[in-house]
Chain A
Amino acid sequence: MMAKIHDPIIVVEDLVVRYGDRTVLDGISFEVRQGDVFVILGGSGSGKTTLLRNLVGLMRPASGRILIRGEDFTAMSEDERIELRKKMGMSFQGSALLQSLSLADNVALPLREHTALEESTIDIMTRIKLELVGLGGFEEYLPSALSGGMKKRAGIARAMAMDPEFMFYDEPSAGLDPIVAAGIDQLIRKLQETFRLTSIVVTHEMESVKLIADTVCMLKGGCVVGIGTLEELEQSEHPYVQQFFARRPDDDQSEESAYARALTGLE
């Protein structure tokens, strides 16, 4: 089922993540090719955001390895992680712009902290990044003055500030209207094509998956239930994959709610 893989740049091996004694991700393995848009697809509570947080190092797994360009991200020293993170950009679900800073300062922040560039150079680079996401002229706006879609674009501009090699998107189209969401999808594709960015997108929106995905990895209950191109997944025999693609409701809620209970620890 798995597509033939050339030069994988991110390799996840048997990743297990636990909250306390609850297992949230159970033996996840996959590979991401350089320059691909790799979509992690799954319903609510499938563990997809947890997986993304592990990939960017915001959480540490209980066991398993995450190899980024052959180096084990989970076993790195703090300094090595910081170096690697300069090559990573992440767009958060709620954009996560620093509310106290203007858009320009938000985008300039990693440049100011990590590089010794002149302020005038940083200024130009900030402008370029904001132009790139279609927010030229909004440099001096505070995040609170922007709409949801614009914030998301600004978040992407900030993630692009250090010219990353990897981009991670957490629910890029969540909470946006279809037109704005389509614009974000287009932007993800454009950035991937222009900069050969390896992009990892967490989503549950089938419409975006159709537009952007090279490879789709489907999660359910903390396990991979299908991986491959969209066409391959559509042919999948797995009942959950078929159900998800057909947008059919659950016949029996018990299994889902059991997993949700396991996650939240509620009885």
Chain B
Amino acid sequence: MTNFSLAGHVGRWTLNQLAIGARVSVLMVDTFVWMVLAPLRGKGLRFKAAIEDFVEFGVRSLPIVGMICFLIGVIIALQSSYTLAKWGANRFIATLVAVSALREMAPLMTAILITGRSGSAITAEIGTMKVGEEIDALDVMGLNPIKYLVVPKFMAMVLAVPCVTVMAMFIMIFGGFVASVYIVGVDPFIYIDMTRQSLVEKDLLTGMVKSIFFGIAICWVGVYRGLQVEGGAEGVGRQTTSSVVTAIFLIIIIDLIFTVLFYFV
């Protein structure tokens, strides 16, 4: 009996996930059609809205991302000094900070912060619009909600996350520099020299590729959860929470996949 209900549970869960997968795929295809194919047929894109969203997702997140990443840089430097100092190898702090910032920490921290800041906002905005029948109103006016709402956000997000990530990378390295020089006591010229040696194109590329996919995940999860909202303010709240959790989960999964991939490349 227990086995049977367990099987039923797994089956229902799987069907449910498949249904979600199907709905997300429809959303992806629609976004693609309205972003790439429709403009080719002369239907236009809402660049102005995309730029406004870019400012919101990217430029306005810079202060918080910058501050957090600076602090993370300081933390990485001090934590690595804990081990490296025993070997008299404090100069390698620079390498560690640079590599972890480029390959891992800057893309990840940026993505998580933008999820909390803008992924949730996308869900809340679209969810509130759905509850207030605004999405239906757009539809009845002959304005496709995907074209009107989703595509600008999608373009903005896929651009904003990598841009902010690049900034975050260098701010993190600067954080590591400040901690190493002023707290650990590494010679600044050695630090800069070591950093320059360890900055390689491949690491930068690794981080950028990841961050593009992070952007895609944040936006799609945000939009999908927003469109799933049912039943008023409570629904908006529930989906917003769920949007942040799902997005961060997906970010970690994507991070893992690319880390494994780049490990072998």
Bound CA–CA A155/B141 (angstroms)? 12
Bound CA–CA A109/B137 (angstroms)? 11
Q: Contact: A96 with B142, CB < 8 Å?
A: no
B193 at the interface (CB under 8 A from A): no
Shortest beta-carbon distance from B32 to chain A in Å:
15
Which residues of B in the span 99-143 have a Cβ within 8 Å of any Cβ on A?
A: 128-129, 132-134, 136-143
Q: Contact: B132 with A85, CB < 8 Å?
A: no
Shortest beta-carbon distance from A166 to chain B in Å:
11
Bound CA–CA A90/B132 (angstroms)? 14
Shortest beta-carbon distance from B165 to chain A in Å:
28
Q: Contact: A109 with B143, CB < 8 Å?
A: yes
Residues of B within 8 A of A81 (CB): 142
Q: Contact: B143 with A92, CB < 8 Å?
A: no
* Interface majority SS (helix, strand, loop, mixed), chain A: mixed
Which residues of A in the span 248-262 have a Cβ within 8 Å of any Cβ on B?
A: none
Bound CA–CA A88/B139 (angstroms)? 11
Shortest beta-carbon distance from A200 to chain B in Å:
13
Q: Contact: A85 with B140, CB < 8 Å?
A: yes
Q: Contact: B136 with A92, CB < 8 Å?
A: yes
Q: Contact: B136 with A96, CB < 8 Å?
A: yes
Q: Contact: A98 with B139, CB < 8 Å?
A: no
Q: Contact: B139 with A58, CB < 8 Å?
A: yes
* Interface majority SS (helix, strand, loop, mixed), chain B: helix
Residues of A within 8 A of B132 (CB): 94, 96, 99
Q: Point out the residue from A58, A83, A97, A114 that lies within 8 Å of B136, measured CB to CB.
A: A58
Shortest beta-carbon distance from A112 to chain B in Å:
10
Shortest beta-carbon distance from B128 to chain A in Å:
7
Bound CA–CA A39/B138 (angstroms)? 24
Looking at A53, A99, A168, the one whose CB has the most chain B CB atoms below 10 A away is A99
- Give the size range of A's interface with the partner: 20 to 34
- Count A-B contacts at CB 8 Å: 56
Task: Mark contacts of A7-45 with chain B using CB atoms, 8 A cut-off: 1 yes-contact digit, 0 otherwise.
Answer: 000000000000000000000000000000000000000
Bound CA–CA A164/B138 (angstroms)? 15
Shortest beta-carbon distance from B121 to chain A in Å:
12
Residues of A within 8 A of B129 (CB): 98-99
Q: Contact: A94 with B141, CB < 8 Å?
A: no
Looking at A88, A90, A94, A96, the one whose CB has the most chain B CB atoms below 10 A away is A96
A213 at the interface (CB under 8 A from B): no
Bound CA–CA A82/B139 (angstroms)? 9
Bound CA–CA A220/B134 (angstroms)? 28
Q: Contact: B128 with A99, CB < 8 Å?
A: yes
A113 at the interface (CB under 8 A from B): yes
Bound CA–CA A81/B144 (angstroms)? 11
Residues of A within 8 A of B144 (CB): 82
Which residues of A in the span 88-105 have a Cβ within 8 Å of any Cβ on B?
A: 88-90, 92-94, 96-99
Looking at B128, B142, B148, the one whose CB has the most chain A CB atoms below 10 A away is B142
A64 at the interface (CB under 8 A from B): no
Looking at B128, B141, B143, the one whose CB has the most chain A CB atoms below 10 A away is B141
Q: Contact: B134 with A93, CB < 8 Å?
A: no
Known A94-B133, A96-B136; contact A86-B142, beta-carbon cutoff 8 A: yes
Bound CA–CA A212/B139 (angstroms)? 27
Bound CA–CA A113/B136 (angstroms)? 16
Bound CA–CA A193/B50 (angstroms)? 42
Q: Contact: A93 with B133, CB < 8 Å?
A: yes
Task: Mark contacts of B137-160 with chain A using CB atoms, 8 A cut-off: 1 yes-contact digit, 0 otherwise.
Answer: 111111110001000000000000
- Contacts A113-B143, A155-B137 aside, 13 further interface pairs with beta carbons under 8 A come to A85-B139, A85-B141, A89-B140, A92-B136, A92-B137, A94-B132, A96-B133, A98-B134, A98-B137, A110-B141, A158-B137, A158-B141, A162-B141
By Cβ-Cβ distance, the 10 closest A-B pairs, closest first, are: A96-B137, A85-B142, A96-B133, A82-B142, A90-B140, A92-B133, A110-B141, A96-B134, A56-B140, A86-B142
A-B CB contact pairs (8 Å), 24 listed: A53-B136, A82-B144, A83-B142, A85-B141, A88-B140, A92-B133, A93-B133, A94-B133, A96-B134, A96-B136, A96-B137, A97-B134, A98-B129, A99-B129, A110-B141, A110-B142, A113-B141, A113-B143, A113-B148, A155-B137, A158-B137, A158-B141, A162-B141, A168-B140
